[in-house]
Amino acid sequence: MKQIHNFSAGPAILPQEVIQNCSEALQNFSGTDLSLIEVSHRSKEFVDVMDEAQDLVKKLMNIGDDYEVMYLQGGASTQFLMVAMNLLETKAAYLNTGTWSLKAIKEAKHFGVIEELASSADKNFSYIPKDFTIGSDYDYFHCTSNNTIFGTQLHDFPSSPVPMICDMSSDIFSRKIDFSAFSLIYAGAQKNMGPAGTTLVVVKKEILDKVSRYIPTMLNYNTHIDKGSMFNTPSVFAVYGCLQTLKWIDSQGLEEIENYNNQKADLIYSEIDQNDLFEGTTAREDRSKMNATFILKDEKLNDSFLNACNEANISGIKGHRSVGGFRASMYNAMRVESVQVLVDVMRNFK
């Protein structure tokens, strides 16, 4: 089988050992002689998987038992409304940095007053706003750490006097940060954590039970906390895939993973900046380490460049339809050798 250099924005590349472990579990899960996708989620073997997958998140985040870890369904998109439904009593503050922030704001507006503290919409979300103040009269402050479509990333997080909520779907566990600065973190698994099908939610227990509205059972965080993420049948395969990926991350260490991700980002951005056929689309100080977005200055060359990428077995390089150009998504499992292949294609194309 030929090697494909997978720059897809998601579902994204996974470590080969994770894919191998999942493949073996599909045949015989934990010595049960049952496939992973037919085993009971109430079995001891899978309960052990869920417990370990929750414990590893706490270990990697260096957080204590004042936090709860959940594996839910519905993607980060469901969290746009669950966050507000569970936490918003009067008003909340949002940082608007692109498509996913806009979707979160749209859902939250149904539950209270939403104030956009700052927005980069004026320049097509090509930078991260920095001149804003978070007041102490909000129920919470919400931000998106990385923007897959526009290729920007918060490299530093603000100090917040109110609970800070973050959508980390596309850069979770890609760097070493102070996770305890956040009161709630959510992330779709399909970028850095595992296969699509489950969503990680990590919440500080003290921020719950503060709203007066009725919260439907399935949308109430307490429902899933009380039942250990098994109020209904969880996404068994996706959770198992997350556990395998978390083990791989733990074996590497977040500091080493961050260094490796920086190496990949430096390689691609250096070529973008020195190759006069190409141009980056975001402010340099806000460039994402996960999703490098760029264009050809002469759009007439787009198809020729895509053909050159295809010939080099490069997949998923085409930019999002709302932005155009190209996007190299370089999640944790992406090898620097694959980034070098893309850089070589860019150089040869010139």
Q: Which residues are catalytic?
A: 100, 167, 191
Amino acid at 305: F
User: For residue 67, what are the β-bridge partners?
Assistant: 204
Determine the Cα–Cα distance for residues 142 and 69; give it in Å rounded to an integer.
Answer: 19
Whether the Cβ atoms of residue 308 and residue 345 lie closer than 8 Å to each other: yes
Determine the Cα–Cα distance for residues 64 and 68; give it in Å rounded to an integer.
Answer: 9
Crossing angle of the two packed helices 336-349 and 302-311, in degrees rounded to 10: 130
Residue spans of beta strands (DSSP E) within the chain = 5-6, 67-72, 91-96, 113-119, 141-144, 146-147, 152-153, 164-167, 184-188, 199-204, 278-280, 291-296, 314-315, 326-329
Amino acid at 287: R
